[in-house]
Structure 1
Amino acid sequence: MTTGLPSASRDRGLHARVVDALGQDIVDGRLAPGTILNVEAMSERFSVSRSVLREVLRVLQSLGMVEPRQRTGTQVLPRASWDLMSPQVILWRGRGPEYFTQMRELLELRLGLEPMAARLGALTPDPLQAAVVLEAARTMVEADATGNGPRYLEADVAFHTALLRGSGNQVIGHFATQVEALLRTRVEEARATITDWTPAAAAAHLALAEALVAGDADVAFRAAWELISGTVDEFVRESDEELH
């Protein structure tokens, strides 16, 4: 029986599926650091060719998750070697037991970046990005009022990515991809921790957006700091309750 798909398309689909499965196994600890990956066993497990597996292992190697060793094979590496800023690694950690650790770590990083992005965006505004921030904040308020979770999430992603990209600092703007990946882990997250939205959170986003558009750098900085620090405090409190 044939699938009707060209061979290259089938290989890309298999490649993505195996990368996702093995990456998740490493993050979840099913493939512990030091494990030597058995190519024959993987080929049988996933029903894929050695050439597909070689490409999969190259991807995982580029993420710092595995490393080929002479005369032993490909070995799983510890977390310290992983590219923790890769959107793919963020997704895997967000799905697994490292969800709470990753959320705390990246929220603390955002606390150092987003207030400065807000200040810079207010001082040297990018009209397009500022308009996106304001529209996204208004959409969050509306979505909160109607209980539309997916719309709220999409607006939240748009808000924070535009805030970072509108800073005028290309390094800060580059972090928008990681923030989007982090926010999207909430789609699959079954635990309640900071996955819900509230009128207060929507209003805080709107206050920040209005300060940004008005060019008030001090207010924008404080609003961003309070927004993220409040989320950090809430997350730490609720994750402690969840874990204990």
Structure 2
Amino acid sequence: MNPGLGASRERGLHAQVVDVLGQEIVEGRHAVGSIVNVDELGTRFGVSRSVLREALRVLQSLGMVEPRQRVGTQVLPRIAWDLMNPQVIVWRGRGTEYFTQMRELLELRLGLEPVAARLAATAMTPIQAALVQQAATTMVESGTAGDGRRYLEADVAFHTTILQSCGNAVIGHFATTVEALLRTRVEEKRFTITDYTPAAADRHFALAAALADRDPEAAYAASFALLTDTVDEFVREAPTPG
């Protein structure tokens, strides 16, 4: 057997185990405090102990499990998870935590992105400003046409460019979290993008105009209004708890 093919197969199995176990932990199929049974998992997935150990190390890096001496690998509560990691966002977005996660991260974005917009108004380069303007134009066009996929790509480009061009590396790091959150909406059938794209696209265009004018306070106000309206739209559409 080609050694390269064997390594590739192991990487594929490792990724599969990580994805399945991470999703199951998020969905509560492995109770908090329970011990992961490596032998059972090996039989279930048909993988070696080395593949399982590597998969559990990935989940440990995400704060979802932790090895305990003389006990085994224990499942940790949500408070320990890296909730802004794109992979965790994907898992939460697939299941019953979709609406909870959307509310939590939208509220965080409301506190952070207007500040990023204010900074970006003076820090971004002409090329970055043009990218934001083009993304906003594409959102208006695709929103009118009801093209949710094209709208999404433009939405991702719009927000990540602003975050990455604000001149603050810590805020810029949040761009990967925002992108992952936006992309969870692609498969979400209960709350779709195209239900509200035309009005949302217009609000994005107003923010792009403020950035093009290099007006920090107008950019802050436009971003705050955009995120506030998004939160309000989400609250109206989300199911009532219980």
Query: What pairs with 1:81-160 in structure 2 (closer than 5 Å)?
Result: 81-160=80-159
Residue in 2 aligned with 1:183? 182
Cα displacement (A) at 1:123: 2.3
Residue in 2 aligned with 1:208? 207
- Secondary structure (helix, strand or coil) at the match of 1:75 reads strand
Cα displacement (A) at 1:196: 3.0
- The answer to whether the 8 Å contact 2:118/2:216 transfers is yes
TM-score under structure 1 length normalisation: 0.94
Residue in 2 aligned with 1:64? 63
- Secondary structure (helix, strand or coil) at the match of 1:37 reads coil
Cα displacement (A) at 1:142: 0.9
Task: Provide structure 2 residue ranges, at least 5 long, that are not aligned to the other structure.
Answer: none
How many residues matched? 242
- Secondary structure (helix, strand or coil) at the match of 1:229 reads helix
TM-score under structure 2 length normalisation: 0.95
Alignment pair present for 1:41 and 2:40: yes
- Secondary structure (helix, strand or coil) at the match of 2:238 reads helix
Distance in 2, matches of 1:10 and 1:195, equals 39
Cα displacement (A) at 1:237: 2.3
Cα displacement (A) at 1:5: 6.8
Distance in 1, matches of 2:110 and 2:235, equals 14
- The answer to whether the 8 Å contact 1:125/1:215 transfers is no
Distance in 2, matches of 1:206 and 1:53, equals 48
- The answer to whether the 8 Å contact 1:193/1:238 transfers is no
Amino acid corresponding to residue 127 of structure 2 in structure 1: L
Alignment pair present for 1:55 and 2:31: no
- The answer to whether the 8 Å contact 2:185/2:192 transfers is no
Residue in 2 aligned with 1:237? 236
- Secondary structure (helix, strand or coil) at the match of 1:201 reads helix
- The answer to whether the 8 Å contact 1:86/1:178 transfers is yes
Which stretch has the larger CA shift, 107-116 or 193-202?
193-202
- Secondary structure (helix, strand or coil) at the match of 1:6 reads helix
Task: Provide structure 1 residue ranges, at least 5 long, that are not aligned to the other structure.
Answer: none
User: Which deviations, in whole Å up to 9, do the C-alpha atoms of 1:17-50 show, x marking residues without a partner?
Assistant: 1100000000000111011111111011111111
- The answer to whether the 8 Å contact 1:66/1:77 transfers is yes
Distance in 1, matches of 2:6 and 2:128, equals 42
- Secondary structure (helix, strand or coil) at the match of 2:167 reads coil
Cα displacement (A) at 1:173: 0.6
Q: Could you say what the CA RMSD is over the residues aligned between the two structures, in angstroms? A: 1.7
- The answer to whether the 8 Å contact 1:126/1:168 transfers is no
- The answer to whether the 8 Å contact 2:148/2:194 transfers is no
Distance in 1, matches of 2:2 and 2:177, equals 35
Aligned-residue sequence identity (percent) comes to 68
Amino acid corresponding to residue 144 of structure 2 in structure 1: A
Residue in 2 aligned with 1:78? 77
- Secondary structure (helix, strand or coil) at the match of 1:74 reads strand
Cα displacement (A) at 1:172: 0.7
